[in-house]
């Protein structure tokens, strides 16, 4: 025992020295490459640039992109295929880090074509490995598996065992999402085997978490608990607190499912201590709620109520909507069970008032097409009815004198023209609404959200992923609710706009701030405007205004009233029109906004231009009815 105790400090010191050495080596490697770059030229310079980009692209995206572009240009001028392939893949990786997966995939395909033509095996592997990851991020899982499986023999041929394990783990995760449990188990087993043969212990622990989830999905709780405990032991060895907390919570949940309440509470308490140490308020709220569920199951309703109310207070402090809603849902059921019917009713009202629903995204296109078909059929039917009425009246006209007949014919003609114009106007408004809805929720925007969710899950930050989904659900429901209304209040429009900006702020983090101001004289509840009007303008600013290296992005939205007009000014502090688009880009979203404004009232206007100092301002002049 004494011998063991005397070794513990030396073991810890050795691990600390290893971590410090790896960090110093990484920095030393980067510094050495930068020094070598100063005197390098030709193909060696391309190679050094590519190596530097791989080290820098996550630490300093702007610097990484600049070096990657230089590598592409230099390799192209030298006709250096291998260097050009790697440079293009590096650029695509930077694009993916920024969630621009469509551009990343296109560029990687270009690199793959070049590598295959040159027979460059490293390039083929890097391209297929990247494509497998990109496709998984945007939900094209079959393509992800295809590319990853194609990359696997190349990884084996190149002798990179860590990449083999990562590939097999990625394949297993995607197969698990697709419900292909047997194939997923086989992929995970192979990944674990590679790790054990090559002493990749930490990677094995990451795989064990996925294996534990697979076992749970298949109903094998004992196996799930065992894998989580194995992963926990390894993460404790590496002192990875984030993943330790995840494993403890997973084990606590598994024990709860088995009815082992005392052991479950013990693991929840350990996870709770780590969440508090990491200042993870949302995590603290969720685990406190998990403890409340244990006490409820044990029949100790008083303690369950106490913990639930504590969880609610922490959840509100965390400002995580999805966490608050989860606590509310449990709370009203617990209050009802405890006989606190008034509290149960009040909590149920709050919960249902703020409850959000995610609609099936893959069904939205079909819904839109059905609406268009319905409107077209309706328009055709109304026109045919009007024509039939006209024919009946024409027959009656023949029985009357010529003068009266002419007057009646003219009256009918005017009525038909007016009715037709009215129907066409309604039809155009409907189509514009549909196009605008598609514009607002076009695939790349949805992919950005879901990619952010996926990245958060892969990093173990499930609370952040939950917040993304909650904000996205709220925004989607609000816009869909406004779809079939001709007008909504300015207050509703601004609430929806703020929800959208909060969602984008989750993605941009500290790089984006926004401010919405309404002139005091404006009653936002009584002022009515077209629904879904402002979001496309703001989205256009977010897409084109800010440079990738800009960290102080700001969007300002202001409302003022002038006689019978509402002025809406949306400005940014970005790079301006010419820098953002080189004079070639015309936003479809802005075109649709202007079309809708003009359809509503020809006196409505939309103006866009550069500001004096920096950025762009869009002005909407809306006539108030």
The pTM (predicted TM-score) of the whole model is 0.48
Max mean pLDDT among 141-150, 422-431, 480-489, 579-588 falls in 141-150
Of 13 and 270, which is predicted with more confidence? 270
Q: Do 534 and 492 contact (CB within 8 A), yes or no?
A: no
> Which parts of 136-238 are beta strand (E)?
none
- Which of 410, 364, 369, 374 minimizes the C-alpha distance to 390? 410
Q: Which helix (H) or strand (E) holds 622?
A: strand 616-623
User: Closest by alpha carbon to 452, among 407, 504, 493?
Assistant: 504
Phi, psi of 298 (to 5 degrees): -75, -15
Tokens of 232: 């926990």
Q: Which two tokens stand for residue 321?
A: 């909507």
Strands (E), 455-497: 488-489
Report pLDDT for 429.
58
Q: What is the DSSP letter of 510?
A: G
Helix (H) or strand (E) segment spanning residue 623:
strand 616-623
As a three-state string, the secondary structure of 68-122 is: HHHHHHHHHHHCCHHHHHHHHHHHHHHHHHCCCHHHHHHHHHHHHHHHHHHCCHH
Distance CA 247, CA 225 (A): 9
Which among 524, 537, 603 has a CA at the least distance from the CA of 569? 537
Query: Residue 619: which H helix or E strand, with range?
Result: strand 616-623
What does the pLDDT look like over 342-394, one tens digit per residue? 777 777 766 665 554 333 333 444 334 444 444 444 444 444 444 455 554 55
Q: What is the pLDDT of residue 363?
A: 40
| Residue pointed to by tokens 């090559």 | 198
Instruction: Please give the backbone phi and psi of residue 337, each rounded to the nearest 5 degrees, phi first.
Output: -65, -30
Residue pair 437/95 in contact (Cβ under 8 Å)? The answer is: no
DSSP string, 550-617: ---EEEEEEEEEETTEEEEEEEE-SS-HHHHHTT----HHHHHHHHHHHHH-TT-EEEEEE-SSSSEE
330 CB-near residues (< 8 Å, 6+ apart): 289, 292, 293, 308
Where do we find the tokens 């590939």?
A: 167
Q: Is 399 helix (H, G, I), strand (E, B) or coil?
A: coil
Pick from 28-37, 395-404, 447-456, 464-473 the range whose average pLDDT is largest.
464-473
Q: Tell me the sheet residues that pair with 467.
A: none
Residue 430's pLDDT band (cuts 50, 70, 90) = low
Residue 79 exposed, middle or buried by CB count within 10 Å (0-12, 13-18, 19+): exposed
**Of 592, 354, 367, 568, nearest in space to 478 by CA:** 354
What's the mean pLDDT in 467-478? 72
Higher pLDDT, 561 or 503: 561
Closest Cα to residue 573, out of 558, 600, 551? Answer: 551
How far apart are the C-alpha atoms of 601 and 501, rounded to whole Å? 28
What's the residue count for the chain?
Answer: 625
Q: Which of 20-24, 101-105, 192-196 has the highest mean pLDDT?
A: 192-196
Burial of 369 (0-12, 13-18, 19+ CB in 10 A): exposed
Query: Among 39-43, 229-233, 460-464, 590-594, which is the least confidently predicted range?
Result: 460-464
Report pLDDT for 117: 93
CA distance 95 to 317: 35
Say if residue 583's pLDDT is above 50: no
- Using CA atoms, how far apart are residues 58 and 63, in angstroms rounded to an integer? 10
How many CB atoms are located within 10 Å of the residue 399 CB?
7
- How far is the C-alpha of 92 from the C-alpha of 107, rounded, in Å? 6
Burial class of 327 by CB neighbour count within 10 A (0 to 12, 13 to 18, 19+): buried
Q: Which pLDDT score, from 0 to 100, does residue 506 have? A: 76
Sign of CA dihedral 328, 333, 336, 340: negative
The token pair at 442 is: 């076009």
In terms of average pLDDT, the best of 90-94, 263-267, 430-434, 528-532 is 263-267
What 3-state class would DSSP assign to 336? Answer: helix
Question: How far is 187 from 173, CA to CA, in rounded Å?
Answer: 9
* Helices 462-483/321-338 angle, 10° precision: 90
What are the C-alpha distances in Å from 527 to residues 369, 563, 600? 32, 13, 15
Residue 391 has phi, psi (to 5 degrees) of -65, -40
Nearest to 110 by CA among 125, 93, 94, 92: 92
Per-residue pLDDT tens over the stretch 283-330: 898 899 999 999 988 889 889 889 988 988 888 887 666 667 788 888
Number of H helices, E strands in the chain: 25, 7
Where would I find the beta strands (DSSP E) of 482-576?
Answer: 488-489, 512-518, 528-529, 553-562, 565-572
Please state the rounded mean pLDDT for residues 595-613: 86
């Amino acid at each position: 025992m004494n011998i063991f105790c005397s070794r513990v400090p030396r073991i810890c010191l050795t691990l600390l020295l290893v971590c410090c050495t790896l960090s110093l080596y990484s920095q030393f490697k980067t510094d050495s490459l930068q020094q070598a770059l100063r005197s390098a030229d030709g193909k060696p310079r391309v190679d050094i640039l590519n190596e530097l980009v791989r080290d820098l692209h996550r630490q300093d995206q702007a610097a990484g992109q600049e070096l990657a572009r230089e590598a592409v240009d230099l390799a192209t001028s030298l006709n250096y295929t291998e260097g050009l392939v790697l440079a293009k893949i590096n650029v695509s990786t930077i694009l993916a880090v920024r969630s621009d997966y469509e551009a990343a995939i296109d560029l990687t395909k270009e690199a793959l074509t070049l590598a295959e033509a040159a027979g460059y095996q490293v390039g083929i592997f890097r391209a297929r490995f990247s494509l497998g990851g990109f496709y998984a991020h945007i939900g094209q899982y079959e393509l992800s598996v295809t590319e990853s499986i194609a990359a696997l023999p190349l990884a084996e041929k190149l002798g990179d065992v860590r990449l083999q394990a990562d590939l097999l783990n990625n394949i297993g995760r995607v197969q698990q999402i697709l419900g292909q449990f047997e194939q997923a188990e086989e992929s995970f087993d192979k990944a674990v085997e590679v790790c054990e043969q090559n002493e990749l212990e930490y990677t094995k622990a990451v795989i064990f978490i996925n294996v534990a989830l697979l076992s749970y999905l298949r109903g094998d709780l004992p196996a799930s608990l065992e894998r989580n405990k194995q992963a926990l032991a390894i993460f404790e060895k590496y002192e990875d607190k984030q993943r330790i907390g995840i494993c403890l919570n997973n084990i606590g949940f598994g024990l709860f499912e088995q009815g082992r309440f005392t052991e479950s509470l013990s693991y929840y308490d350990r996870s709770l201590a780590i969440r508090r140490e990491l200042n993870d308020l949302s995590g603290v709220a969720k685990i406190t709620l998990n403890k409340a569920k244990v006490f409820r199951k044990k029949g100790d309703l008083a303690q369950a109520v106490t913990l639930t109310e504590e969880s609610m207070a922490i959840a509100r402090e965390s400002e995580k909507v999805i966490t608050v809603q989860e606590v509310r849902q449990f709370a009203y059921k617990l209050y009802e069970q405890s006989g606190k019917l008034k509290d149960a009713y009040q909590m149920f009202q709050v919960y249902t008032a703020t409850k959000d629903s995610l609609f099936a995204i893959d069904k939205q296109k079909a819904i839109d097409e059905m609406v268009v078909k319905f409107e077209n059929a309706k328009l055709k039917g109304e026109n045919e009815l009007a024509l039939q009425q006209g024919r009946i009246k024409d027959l009656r006209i023949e029985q009357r004198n010529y003068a009266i007949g002419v007057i009646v014919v003219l009256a009918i003609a005017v009525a038909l023209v007016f009715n037709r114009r009215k129907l066409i106007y309604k039809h155009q408004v409907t189509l514009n609404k549909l196009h605008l809805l598609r514009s607002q929720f076009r695939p790349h925007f949805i992919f950005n959200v879901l990619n952010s969710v996926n990245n958060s899950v892969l990093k173990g930050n499930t609370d952040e992923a939950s917040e993304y989904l909650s904000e996205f659900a709220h925004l989607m429901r609000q816009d869909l609710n406004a779809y079939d209304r001709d007008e909504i209040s300015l207050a509703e429009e601004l609430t929806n706009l703020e929800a959208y900006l909060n969602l984008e702020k989750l993605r941009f983090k500290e790089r984006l701030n926004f401010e919405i101001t309404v002139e005091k004289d404006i009653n936002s509840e009584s002022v009515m405007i077209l629904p879904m009007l402002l979001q496309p303008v703001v989205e256009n600013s977010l897409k084109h205004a800010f440079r990738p290296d800009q960290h102080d992005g700001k969007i300002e939205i202001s409302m003022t009233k002038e006689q019978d007009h509402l002025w809406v000014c949306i400005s940014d502090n970005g790079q301006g029109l010419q820098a953002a688009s080189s004079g070639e880009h015309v936003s479809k979203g802005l075109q649709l906004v202007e079309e809708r404004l003009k359809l509503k009232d020809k006196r409505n206007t939309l103006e866009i231009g550069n500001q004096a100092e920096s950025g762009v301002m869009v002005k909407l002049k809306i006539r108030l009815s």
